[in-house]
Structure 1
């Protein structure tokens, strides 16, 4: 048996920690628990509010047109419902066409610069939507909005994955998606007030909706430029590059703890190579997650667009329908955090996605049944609220589940772009689910949504069964045995709570270095 050197780090009166080594430089956990908590708290207070604000702005600008419908937007611009649906498809098409190129730019220049620029760009486009006056201008502005928004969501997700450990990811992803959820709900509530400005300056209410929400996004771009760290490697302000956001000690702690959790995050290149694309596209499990998102987001995006109109058809006043359509979206926020906590705390990735899908599917069953009632306005409205509560959060939970199968930052960046592309491809087909010949009860639309979600649920069950079988297979193998799934099987076999102290053998020059966790087994 060869001799092994064991390297450990003593931390005052703390327990000793194992060491992992990447290349020639040892990574030593040389800080106290209190220091790490303090640094992570500061990171949370900087990164999370800013990224969440950006997602909030994106959702305001993307979704405000759905609220404008209740203020005679279609009649004023001169378009039909089916033409409106085509405009929504153009938004999603613009995102899909430029999603991966946008993410490649972000990977090269850093999230601080790129996400800040994007916020300014889609804020400007959103503002200029106020001056559209025909079908052509509607199509062009929706397409431009899609192009300028593309890459923002996967860019935000990738940024989170570089700053946090795998165990911390699900909760932060859900906080990030809080911006989306809060934006959906707030947009409808704000629209109720802003749309009453019809006649101010001789303009319709929807004119002021676009101007005010787009202007808010542009102002938020300055916050991004001042406070969002440029990148994991260069955590400086984009507008004030000489201002340090974190102290050198905090940077050391934040970087090292992430690399101890996943050394592959230190392998960053200036660009993403062709090999990374081949690796991602040949990874069949990624395509299952892609289908899950495709099935969840098509019905959800379509329903969110027409929720105020559907509520109005129950007999509620047109503008008040925006406020009523916000209720379920506000309730979904604490519910989604509850699902995220279960996913994180109990390592129930697949279970929470399947549960969310089941509840979402049940919502469309309710809508299909209740809209047939001659009266029963309360029951019809309950169906809308239920669908809104459970319609969104399966997507971010699926993203976290997917990210755990990624082996390095390149694959993770591309996977984030792929999954968000799936969400926006869903928007392309979803935009045509609710059509004028199916209103006001939308029997066909609700039936189609039920079928799509049933297929998505089947995909989630299949993926969960795959994880369960691999865990079982790995658990039966002797320590150190190879598996057909390589490193990925090991990731699935170990719950997040066991990732950090897991014994690791790594190469350091010509001499192996073994963590303290393996000392007794050699």
Structure 2
């Protein structure tokens, strides 16, 4: 939110008492009451109309400040968006995560032994994958801004499926390294692209929960992978192939098919819903008007750049220098250390304490189910209470307790079922990544900044992943006392960081309030029209925290 007259509406906070899908169509709005949205002021409306024309925003012809609609109409539009937009994204992520899970399951089927590899080489392969996705994160966003997410994402998924399929032919650790590097190229920018693409269709209050649904899909995919592996790994010996080779073949083919389907049904924007499947489009003309104006009234900056406009190097550097994002970037660096270590090692850890390969496939299911439910609950509560930083303390404290037990309990990695209970508790921790992504997007207040900030956030996240993948080492096995101590200390550092981040944004908002409140109404309107401040540097913008 970046227009001055909205300053009086809940002090620029997201509405918390309004249900999703009805934020911009209150009873006042349906009667055309002034003050109900940013463009009620004709001067502001004319200003943004010119902005959208100059930017050649693809939906600019649908911009209508006088448009009104009912709550039921907006709910119907959101339902269609959920079916056609979230549906295809869930399909893409289900296929993408299916193959990520296949590597973990393959390791549990003695893949490392058959390839004459040890856990250090396994770590290095995973680090190479993370490193490639890291260095390609920002370049991929430049490509996507040029050619469009609706073309690039499906092509990435198709390439990913081919590479996963090729892993069935691995013979040694060198082949493992090569396929990990190539998979890194195919996966680069995936999460960032999805989170930015969804902002074209959803309001800021709707985004976080839908990101949570995507992560829930990713997590439940681990359950599907485990059940699939339970059956496919029993094909060992068929055509002289190991079970893990059959797993790569099956999941690679499924991913290739999913990518091909996505290429046919993904759409570039709200007003471009016609494709080979829906030749007349899946939104009527009025539904398009509602869909466009609801997101512009939520964030007028969404129309200041069209969906095929490339980001320049100058814009990229300016976004990276934005110090208001640095606390969030630092959080992304260390927030997911424990998960980055535990997820690829969970089957190995269970095997090390005596469970069979077949049992392990089923034993990894409960923590993923609990994780999904707890993540959705945490995200919903965050949305209801309009809180981010303090909500992210919940998983930090949760992980601190479990990691403390893993490090100092004498039965850790000795007592079979006690260790399993701790590993389940740790992997069941609710993820606050959906909250983080929505927070990052909201505090951008600019399409250009939003894309780069999302990429930068993933950049630091991948840096943390690379560092985390060397925490569990061969010389520390099987109890990993040193590794768990490192995880405990890094996790504890999250607590003061999150609290200080909240205080920082509160302080920034207070300073802006002091300046804004001293301005007359004419000065505020003049500032809105002629300021050179952009994005989250505008005086009429307030940071979410």
Quickly name the TM-score band, shorter chain normalised.
0.7 to 0.9
Does 2:406 align with 1:367?
Answer: yes
Aligned with 1:314 (options 353, 360, 363): 353
Once superposed, what is the RMSD of the aligned Cα atoms? 2.6
Deviations 1:366-424 (A, max 9, x none): 2223463586433211211111111x612222222222210211111111111122222
Does 2:384 align with 1:345?
Answer: yes
Deviations 1:184-204 (A, max 9, x none): 333233323322221122110
Does 2:222 align with 1:184?
Answer: yes
Deviations 1:292-342 (A, max 9, x none): 122123331221001111122232222311321221111111110111101
Q: What is the correspondence of 1:52-451 to structure 2 with a 5 Å cutoff?
A: 52-232=90-270, 234-237=272-275, 242-269=279-306, 270-370=309-409, 372-373=411-412, 376-390=415-429, 393-451=431-489
- Equivalent residue, structure 2, for 1:491: 542
Name structure 2 gaps, 5 residues minimum.
1-24, 40-44, 51-62, 528-532
- Using the TM superposition, give the Cα deviation of residue 49 of structure 1 relative to its aligned residue in structure 2, in angstroms: 2.2
Deviations 1:95-125 (A, max 9, x none): 1121111122212222111111111011111
Q: Which moved more, 1:137-146 or 1:471-480?
A: 471-480
- Equivalent residue, structure 2, for 1:501: none
User: Whole-Å Cα distance in 2 between the matches of residues 184 and 165 of structure 1?
Assistant: 29
Aligned residues: 485
- Equivalent residue, structure 1, for 2:49: 23
User: Whole-Å Cα distance in 2 between the matches of residues 313 and 12 of structure 1?
Assistant: 63
CA contact (8 A) 2:411 2:418 kept: no
Q: Which moved more, 1:254-263 or 1:483-492?
A: 483-492
User: Whole-Å Cα distance in 1 between the matches of residues 384 and 26 of structure 2?
Assistant: 29
Give the TM-score normalised by structure 2. 0.83
User: Whole-Å Cα distance in 1 between the matches of residues 27 and 501 of structure 2?
Assistant: 42
User: Whole-Å Cα distance in 2 between the matches of residues 235 and 79 of structure 1?
Assistant: 49
User: Whole-Å Cα distance in 1 between the matches of residues 471 and 413 of structure 2?
Assistant: 23
- Using the TM superposition, give the Cα deviation of residue 10 of structure 1 relative to its aligned residue in structure 2, in angstroms: 12
- Using the TM superposition, give the Cα deviation of residue 29 of structure 1 relative to its aligned residue in structure 2, in angstroms: 3.2
User: Whole-Å Cα distance in 2 between the matches of residues 68 and 398 of structure 1?
Assistant: 31
User: Whole-Å Cα distance in 2 between the matches of residues 10 and 396 of structure 1?
Assistant: 27
Q: Structure 1 runs of 4+ off > 6 angstroms?
A: 9-13, 482-485
Give the TM-score normalised by structure 1. 0.86
CA contact (8 A) 1:67 1:322 kept: yes
Provide the secondary structure at the position in 2 that maps to 1:278. helix
CA contact (8 A) 1:195 1:208 kept: yes
Provide the secondary structure at the position in 2 that maps to 1:256. helix
CA contact (8 A) 1:371 1:380 kept: no
